[in-house]
Structure 1
Amino acid sequence: MRQVFTTGLLWFSAIGCGLMAGIYFAFSTFIMTAFGRLGQAAGIAAMNAINVDIVRSLFMPLFLGTTVAGAALVVMGTLRISEPGAVSMIAGGGLYVIGMFVVTMVFNVPLNNALAAVQPSAPEAGAVWAAYLKDWTFWNHVRTVASVVGCALFVAALASSAS
């Protein structure tokens, strides 16, 4: 029963990380660039609209669920350190929780809050928007890489435990 639960959690985490990586990849590779071309008022409005809607969407259960599952896999891997796949579980969960969740909470969310506080037509909006595009996108790249590598490590843990 324990192995079935672990395998299910690994599958959920791998798929969740993969989905999150895809979302972040899209923002890193073309969405933020497109928003930057819209001009500050339209770009700010578009990003603020996304930031309002995303917390009401299926993104949030996936975001939180994959984070909790990743943290649980760190604990489970630590308790089974000598078993196949344990190191990959620990590394995948730790990287994902720190590189995706912690980075989001410490960097991306405060940047989103600062963007929401600025009036798009205010004189300081141009500087806020320019800094937001650069800084938010940088931290989003970090989240993308953490999600991709976390997914790969969870797949490696699944492959190790299957052999």
Structure 2
Amino acid sequence: MLTLILWFSAIGCGLVAGLYFAFSGFIMRALGRIDLGAGINAMNAINKVILGSLFMPLFFGTTLASAVLAALALLRWDEPSAALMFTGGLVYVVGMFGVTLAFNVPLNNELASAAEVDDATAVWSRYLKHWTLWNHVRTVASTIAFSCFIAALLAV
């Protein structure tokens, strides 16, 4: 069962890291280069669609599995894979899930109301800068967790 959870977490973290990498690598820059209204509308549309997509079960499932792996690692600390499982789980839950809830989601909510705000230019400019910065953190955290889980699989 442990091997199955490790595989699920590794694959989930890898998929999430890839998505975040795409946003950090080129999607946000592309949205920043188009018309202000089009960029805001596109990002708001992405944020609405993603909530009803297959990404959400992956997002929550990988977070839960990573937390379980971190907890199991504490119970199996004497095993070679424990430190890797704990590190991967902690980095993912804090660096991906925690950052998403603390930073990216509030920025998404602010952007969703930007159409009603007189200064949409300032909101969009701040959004592009801060959302992308926190997305870089999520990308790195997901990649570190992916690497830790793969290394733990090799150590099992």
* TM-score tier (shorter): over 0.9
2:147 partner SS: helix
Residue type of the alignment partner of 2:135 = N
Tell me what 2:38 maps to. 42
Q: How many residue pairs are counted as aligned between the two chains?
A: 156
CA RMSD of aligned residues (A): 0.8
Task: State the 1:118 CA deviation.
Answer: 1.3
The equivalent position to 1:140 in structure 2, one of 135, 142, 151, is: 135
Q: Post-superposition, which runs of at least 4 consecutive aligned residues in structure 1 deviate over 3 A?
A: none
The percent of aligned pairs where both chains have the same amino acid is 60
Structure 2, unmatched stretches of 5+, are: none
Task: State the 1:27 CA deviation.
Answer: 0.1
Tell me what 1:160 maps to. 155
1:69 partner SS: helix
Tell me what 2:89 maps to. 93
Residue type of the alignment partner of 1:117 = S
Task: State the 1:123 CA deviation.
Answer: 3.4
CA distance in 1 between counterparts of 2:126 and 2:36 reads 11
Q: TM-score, normalised by structure 2?
A: 0.98
Task: State the 1:39 CA deviation.
Answer: 2.0
Task: State the 1:40 CA deviation.
Answer: 1.2
The equivalent position to 2:78 in structure 1, one of 72, 82, 91, is: 82
Matches within 5 A, 1:11-160: 11-119=7-115, 122-160=117-155
Q: Deviations over 1:39-81 (max 9, x none)?
A: 2100000000000000000000000000000000001000000
